[in-house]
Amino acid sequence: MEHGEILQRLAEVLEQRKRADAGRSYVASLYAKGLDAILKKIGEEATELVMAAKDGDPRRIAEETADLWFHCMVLLAQQGMGPEDVLAVLDGRFGLSGLEEKAARLATNRIPE
């Protein structure tokens, strides 16, 4: 499978798992447990990634990043979203410095006085 196809293929599988038996599918069991269970897994995987980075182990960093991405993809699917939603945001950030992008985001999210 081409690297560019992996996220889309994973998104398709995650959609299929919405209809799977929670007793036979890890992803279906996460969906059945609900948002809090998915968020807990994301938190756990993020912590494991931080620990792998602190240890400086490239292989573990890649593995833990994959675990984090996977669970973020589960969240996206649970919310009716997909990788294209995130990729569109990233694409829109090209051509802006990080500081400009952050300032624009903060200005957009301000609560009117």
Instruction: Determine the pLDDT at residue 92.
Output: 87
DSSP tag of 20? S
> How confident is the model at residue 111, as a pLDDT?
64
**Domain annotation for the chain: domains and CATH numbers:** 3-81 (1.10.287.1080)
The model's pTM is 0.83
Which burial class, exposed, middle or buried, applies to 55 when counting CB atoms under 10 A from its CB (0-12, 13-18, 19+)?
A: exposed
pLDDT digits (tens, 9 = 90+) for 23-44: 999 999 999 999 999 999 999 9
Q: How far apart are CA 20 and CA 74, in angstroms?
A: 14
Backbone angles phi, psi at 2, to 5 degrees: -65, 145
| Percentages (nearest 5) of helix, strand, coil residues in the chain | 80, 0, 20
Confidence of residue 73 (pLDDT cuts 50, 70, 90): very high
Residue 78 is predicted with a pLDDT of 98
> Which tens digit of pLDDT belongs to each residue from 45-64?
999 999 999 999 999 999 99
